[in-house]
Amino acid sequence: MRKSFLALVFLAICPLLVAQQALNNGSVIKLVKAGLSDDLIVSTINAAPGTYDTSAEGLIALKKAGASDKVVSAVVMKVAEASQPAQPPIPPLAPMNATAEQNSTDPNDPNSSHDPGIYMYTKGQNGMVLTMLESSVYSSGKTGGMFATALTYGIAKTKMKAVVQGAHASVSTSDSSVLFYFYFEEENKSFGGSTTPNEYTLLKFDQKSNSRETQTGSMNAFGASTGTDVNAASGFTYKKIKPGIYKVTPAGQLIPGEYCFLPAGGQAGTAAASRLFAFGITAQ
């Protein structure tokens, strides 16, 4: 019984002992001569480094020493594996650039690309929020001064106005320190025929019960001229953030009311319908 136990212990630790030194054909022949099983010899060959002779003479010598085809195959495979070039390690994926990751996942990042248009940047419950202003169709019409124009045979000027239906814009905020971002198309760097915020005027509407109005020009018998009401105009400054993106800052805090960005092309006082970008400032 004691001899059987020692034999089992030897069989268990044999691969570990042999793995500490390089094997060769002679080592394998010794294991075969010792009467070890094919499975144990194959495990030892796979676990330990080795330098083997797999020429025809070397393989014949193994067979003559009593090595089975399974053991000889293990020797041949070991040599074949050692001859294969080492595969280069797969580099880890580079971490996504923080700005690029933010641009791709955060729709409220003003420095990322957005659809062309004017956006309002305001304080929200969970941080700053970027909201696109809807373009509104307005119609041009005549207002004060028509009677004086008639009396003076067309010399006195008649004011022209832009009229937008509805008393309130669909987009509004109570943040009187609101900022704006203009995003122009990358292909032609424009939307609505404009290329920079400098081609827009920020105006405060005169609110009616069912509409909003603002002066856009004047006309008489000698022609028409553009020009908004100076009392309705709100100044602003702008800064180019990157190609096609501009940050627009109103000259001061906007008081509650209805406002719009009116493009320069819409100030001609024509009767044709045009577009502007409206928003509202509500009381806090």
- Per-residue pLDDT reduced to its tens digit, 260-275: 998 876 544 443 347 8
Beta-ladder partners of 249: 237
Q: What's the structural domain count of the chain? A: 2
Decide which of 250 and 158 is more confident: 250
Domain boundary among 57, 83, 109: 83
pLDDT higher than 90, residue 259: yes
- Assess whether 198 and 132 both reside in one domain: yes
Q: How many residues does the chain have?
A: 284
Amino acid residing at 263: P
- Assess whether 68 and 102 both reside in one domain: no
Which domain range does residue 12 map to?
2-83
- Assess whether 60 and 171 both reside in one domain: no
pLDDT of residue 121: 96
Instruction: Tell me whether strands 274-281 and 172-173 are parallel, antiparallel or unpaired.
Output: parallel
Residue 159 to residue 232: CA distance in whole angstroms: 14
Closest to 216 (Cα-Cα) out of 254, 263, 255: 263
The model scores a pTM over 0.85: no
Backbone angles phi, psi at 186, to 5 degrees: -70, -30
Q: Per mean pLDDT, which range of 6-15, 23-32, 248-257 is the poorest?
A: 6-15
Half-sphere exposure of 246 (CA within 13 A, CB side): 24
Q: Per mean pLDDT, which range of 22-36, 167-181, 187-201 is the poorest?
A: 187-201
pLDDT of residue 249: 96
pLDDT of residue 273: 45
- Assess whether 104 and 52 both reside in one domain: no
154: in domain? yes
Q: How many CB atoms neighbour CB 242 within 10 A?
A: 9
Cα 115 to chain centroid, rounded: 13
